């Protein structure tokens, strides 16, 4: 509930600060002098609604989307020893980190992967691939589960949604300001929005969205280091390190784009700036250094 209130208050704060900043900078006056009839306040509100609204709806639908995109099957009645052990492990870790028991699922993939998602830490889903269960030792699986449980306990789904909402708001706002300037000031169109406006908005929004994604991915990489330490605390440093080493030995199969930031590993991108996860080597080094400090 606190994070939902933070979500709402952040939305309002962003719109207020953006509106005041533009007024102090005299942006609306400058546009008016150049024949622009852009209503800054209305655009700020629209941008906030679109930017945060889309991110919030995605968060609410995250469990439903995750199950359908990955084919994850929730374990409602454990029928095998592996399923019983997995549910027992999640139950134990949920009590330790202080959250309600998440839904536990297995998704059909030969690759070693896992993810966590959900609208809140008490309404979440934790899923592992069949490949991870087949190819990792029990202690390593426990560490991966601990990593994902740490994501849930730390509220990373809501945190990244907040960040995504902020950047979305600025992308929507700036793309429409640029489009309006091109349409009214450069193309001298004074009757509605012409083709110049729509083309400029689309191009600008695509470019800004690509740049903005680097901000979201930066915070995602930071959260991965924190989740690694959570997995180490729940299952032991060596188990977490061994799990990461095993993941580093194979080419990971990427989760669907919407889920990549909440997995244990992904393919990343051509450039590190666009990767949701830090390099495996950096994560292992951070855990080894932490283990030494605590020994």
pLDDT at 11: 53
Q: Among the options 148, 224, 251, 281, which is catalytic?
A: 148
Summarize the confidence of residues 89-107 as an average pLDDT.
96
Cβ-proximal residues to 22 (8 Å cutoff; 6+ apart), any chain:
28, 40, 44
Summarize the confidence of residues 27-44 as an average pLDDT.
59
32 versus 40: the higher-pLDDT residue is: 40
Residue 165 has pLDDT above 90, yes or no: no
42 versus 31: the higher-pLDDT residue is: 42
Residue 251 has pLDDT above 70, yes or no: no
Q: What is the pLDDT of residues 68-87, one digit of tens each?
A: 888 999 999 999 999 999 99
Give all strands of the β-sheet with 123-129 in edge-to-edge order.
73-74, 103-107, 123-129, 114-120
Task: Report the percentage of the chain scoring pLDDT > 90.
Answer: 40
Residue 263 has pLDDT above 60, yes or no: no
CA 119 → CA 158, 159, 217, distances in Å? 7, 11, 19
Average pLDDT, rounded, for the chain: 82
Catalytic: 148?
yes
N-to-C CA span, the chain: 38
Residue 45 has pLDDT above 80, yes or no: no
Summarize the confidence of residues 210-237 as an average pLDDT.
92
205 versus 86: the higher-pLDDT residue is: 86
Q: What is the pLDDT of residues 1-28, one digit of tens each?
A: 444 554 555 555 655 665 566 555 555 5
Residue 110 has pLDDT above 80, yes or no: yes
Which of 141-145, 196-200, 246-250, 267-271 is the least confident region? 267-271
CA dist 54 and 221 (Å) reads 22
Residue 276 has pLDDT above 90, yes or no: no
Which of 236-240, 262-266, 278-282 is the least confident region? 262-266
| DSSP tag of 263 | B
pLDDT at 1: 46
The alpha carbon of 230 is separated from its chain's Cα centroid by a whole number of angstroms, namely: 18
pLDDT at 8: 54
192 versus 219: the higher-pLDDT residue is: 219
CA dist 8 and 6 (Å) reads 5
């Amino acid at each position: 509930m606190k994070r939902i209130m933070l979500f709402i208050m952040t939305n309002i704060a962003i719109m207020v600060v953006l509106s005041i900043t533009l007024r102090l900078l005299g942006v609306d006056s400058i546009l008016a002098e150049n024949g622009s009839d852009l209503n800054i306040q209305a655009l700020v509100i629209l941008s906030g609604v679109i930017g945060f609204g889309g991110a919030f709806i995605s968060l609410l639908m995250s469990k439903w989307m995750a199950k359908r995109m990955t084919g994850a099957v929730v374990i409602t009645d454990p029928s095998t020893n592996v399923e019983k052990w997995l549910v027992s492990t999640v139950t134990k870790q949920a009590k330790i980190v202080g959250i309600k028991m998440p839904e536990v699922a297995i998704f059909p993939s030969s690759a070693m992967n896992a993810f966590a998602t959900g609208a809140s830490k008490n309404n979440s889903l934790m899923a592992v691939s069949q490949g991870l269960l087949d190819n990792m030792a029990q202690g390593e699986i426990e560490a991966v589960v601990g990593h994902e449980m740490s994501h849930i306990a730390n509220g990373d789904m809501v945190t990244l949604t907040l960040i995504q909402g902020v950047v979305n708001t600025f992308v929507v706002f700036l793309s429409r300001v640029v489009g309006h300037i091109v349409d009214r000031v450069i193309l001298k169109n004074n009757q509605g929005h012409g083709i110049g406006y729509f083309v400029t908005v689309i191009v600008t929004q695509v470019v800004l969205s690509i740049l903005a994604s680097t901000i979201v991915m930066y915070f995602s990489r930071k959260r991965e280091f924190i989740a690694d330490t959570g997995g180490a605390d729940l299952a032991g440093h060596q188990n977490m390190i061994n799990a990461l080493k095993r993941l580093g030995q194979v080419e990971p199969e990427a989760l669907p784009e919407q889920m990549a930031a909440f997995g244990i590993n992904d393919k990343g991108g051509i450039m590190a700036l666009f990767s949701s996860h830090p390099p495996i080597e950096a994560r292992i080094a951070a855990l080894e250094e932490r283990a030494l400090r605590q020994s």
